Amino acid sequence: MEEHAAIPALQEFPQLSLLPFFSPQNQGVIADYLAYLRARHYAPAMQEGTIRALKSFAVLMPEARRATLSHDLLQTTALDVDAWILNVAPTNPSPPCKPHKVRLSGHQTSARASRSSSL
């Protein structure tokens, strides 16, 4: 894989300074993705959200995988993403939502009833 220069990427995308725990190779991949978003005129919030998600991913990753993924994000597996999602999920779930009616193909049913019947 081609090595990316971190300094030009950091000059073009100063928000990469928020991700110092990623290797220069990863910073280059992230810079390429941010350039892709910019070239397609995505809103700046999309770039900011990408940086926040990557920071969260790196910080909440189990210790056993943190070094590997900090060096090479391309080694990310489905289990890594599952672990991240579990770590992001709140420990105290919010109270159940207020039941509401759902209309599917002309049939009206309770959302709670249809959800429990599908389990």
Instruction: Give the three-state DSSP class for 92.
Output: coil
- At residue 103, the pLDDT reads 58
Report the C-alpha gap between 90 and 49 in whole angstroms: 19
- At residue 80, the pLDDT reads 92
- At residue 1, the pLDDT reads 45
Tens of pLDDT, residues 11-36:
778 888 888 989 999 999 999 999 99
Q: Which is nearest to 81 in space by CA: 89, 71, 93? A: 89
- 102 or 85, higher pLDDT: 85
Paired tokens of 112: 């709670």
Tens of pLDDT, residues 95-106:
555 555 555 555
